[in-house]
Amino acid sequence: MAEDAILIDSSATARGKSELRATLRAQRLALPAAARMQAAEAVAGHLQRHPSFAGQGYVAGYWAMAGEVPLHVLQMRLKADQVWCLPCIQPDNSLRFAPWRPGDELLNNRFGIPEPALAAESQLPPEAMTVILMPLLGFSRGGERLGMGGGYYDRSLGFRQRQPSPPFLVGVGYAFQELATMHSDPWDVRLDAVVTEGEFLLCAPAG
């Protein structure tokens, strides 16, 4: 556990997930740009040094918004046999992924988040990814992830509840987003690992 982590016991509060999300999002938005850039460097270093990130294939990242840890440093350091992808929201609110390099065309989705301008039939299913890096608002050491509440990743990665990786699922956040405990719903898909500016954490298995 990071020494400077702010632990919030989500099971002992009546505020509920909605208010918890608002609190954590406000803390993330308050981070200065320099802190976000330092976190980006540290996160890239932790990932590159860990064996779980060493394999070839498709690496799904995200377009950082609202104070999320930027991933541009990591993208620039990928190996020649690793292909960077970004998520694309589908009409059924699931996710597919499209390869993207700086300079390729982007289009904003309905939330204003840039997505590769690639036809849906040319996009890749989650099962094709080797690693999926997922933004978060909160996480536990057991692999629970608190997202924005849309359920896009849980909806798309439900198959991981029945089988092991790939894709290897890594939550990306800041150390202060660690939660002491966290309620899980049956449809929640657990993370295999979490990376913050402070560490690369392999999550404890369920049970």
Evaluate whether residue 191 is within a structural domain.
yes
Residues 6+ apart with CB under 8 A from 95: 87, 88, 89, 126, 152, 153, 155, 156
Evaluate whether residue 2 is within a structural domain.
no
Evaluate whether residue 1 is within a structural domain.
no
CB 86 within 8 A of CB 62: yes
pLDDT tier for residue 147 given thresholds of 50, 70 and 90? confident
Residue 142 has a CB neighbour count (10 Å cut-off) of 16
Domain tally for the chain?
Answer: 1
Evaluate whether residue 188 is within a structural domain.
yes
Question: Does residue 6 or residue 197 have the better pLDDT?
Answer: 197
Residue closest to 100 by CA, chosen among 129, 61, 43:
61
Mean pLDDT of 32-39: 95
Indicate the Cα dihedral angle 125, 129, 131, 134, nearest 10°: -20
205 token code pair: 């298995």
Reported as a single tens digit per residue, the pLDDT across 51-99 is 989 889 999 999 999 999 999 999 999 999 999 999 999 999 999 999 9
Which CATH number goes with the domain that contains 66? 3.40.50.10420
Pairing of strands 82-89, 145-146: unpaired
Q: Is the pLDDT of residue 137 over 70?
A: yes
Lowest mean pLDDT of 17-21, 77-81, 131-135, 203-207, name the range: 203-207
pLDDT tier for residue 8 given thresholds of 50, 70 and 90? very low
Evaluate whether residue 207 is within a structural domain.
no
pLDDT tier for residue 123 given thresholds of 50, 70 and 90? very high
Evaluate whether residue 157 is within a structural domain.
yes
Mean pLDDT of 40-46: 96
Q: Average model confidence (pLDDT) for the chain?
A: 87
The per-residue DSSP string of 158-178 comes to GGGGTS-PSSEEEEE--GGGB
Give the residue numbers spanning the domain of 91: 8-202
Evaluate whether residue 56 is within a structural domain.
yes
Q: Is the pLDDT of residue 44 over 90?
A: yes
Evaluate whether residue 3 is within a structural domain.
no
Mean pLDDT of 133-145: 90
CB 18 within 8 A of CB 134: no
State residue 179 phi and psi, 5-degree precision.
-110, 140
